Structure 1
């Protein structure tokens, strides 16, 4: 499992409005495309610099494809990254602060100590 790769996915998708919409409408396809094309790119480097050892586990792929922020948090994905991306995708379907409240309610069963979100 790579918390770094989970966070990198959430961060890079959230910063591109077209990817946000793609992930909203085709999550499994977006995860597969991103893993094949983007996972190996290094942040803040030229496109020619790539690595080949990074990939999602089956559980990570399933949580990302299922928009499952609770499981992603339990895997160590940073909650601010899931929250900002998921607000961009789903807030429009809800009234003011409804999505944020539902996001928090879905995680109220998780007891401290919380998963380590350090990368």
Structure 2
């Protein structure tokens, strides 16, 4: 499991409107494409520089493909990154602040101490 890779996915997808829409409409295909094309790019480096070892495990891949943000939080994804990306994807389907309320409701089973979000 890589909290770093989960957070990198959430961060990079959230900053690209085309990836946000693709992830909303085709989550599994987007996760697969991102893992193949983006996962090993080194942030802040030239496009040609990359690593070769970063991969999602099956649990992470399934949580991302299912848009399962409570599970992502349980896996250590940063809650701010999940919230901002999922607001971008799903706020339009709810009344004002409706998605934020739904997000809080779906995470309400968690109590302190929250899962460790350090990478």
Q: With structure 1 as the length reference, what TM-score do the two structures score?
A: 0.99
In structure 2, the residue matched to 1:6 is 6
Distance across 1 between alignment mates of 2:114 and 2:94: 28
Q: Is 1:90 aligned with 2:93? A: no
Deviations along 1:10-62, whole A, 9 cap, x unmatched?
00000000000000000000000000010010000001110010000000000
In structure 1, the residue matched to 2:81 is 81
- The 4+ residue runs of structure 1 with deviation greater than 3 A are none
How many angstroms does 1:90 deviate by?
0.2
Q: For this pair of structures, how many residues does the alignment match?
A: 119
In structure 2, the residue matched to 1:104 is 104
- Superposition map of 1:36-115 within 5 A: 36-115=36-115
How many angstroms does 1:73 deviate by?
0.2
In structure 2, the residue matched to 1:30 is 30
The residue matched to 2:22 in structure 1 has which SS? helix
Distance across 1 between alignment mates of 2:33 and 2:104: 29
Distance across 2 between alignment mates of 1:95 and 1:114: 28
Distance across 1 between alignment mates of 2:24 and 2:66: 10
Instruction: Tell me how large the CA RMSD over aligned residues is.
Output: 0.4
- Any stretches of 5+ residues in structure 1 without a counterpart? none
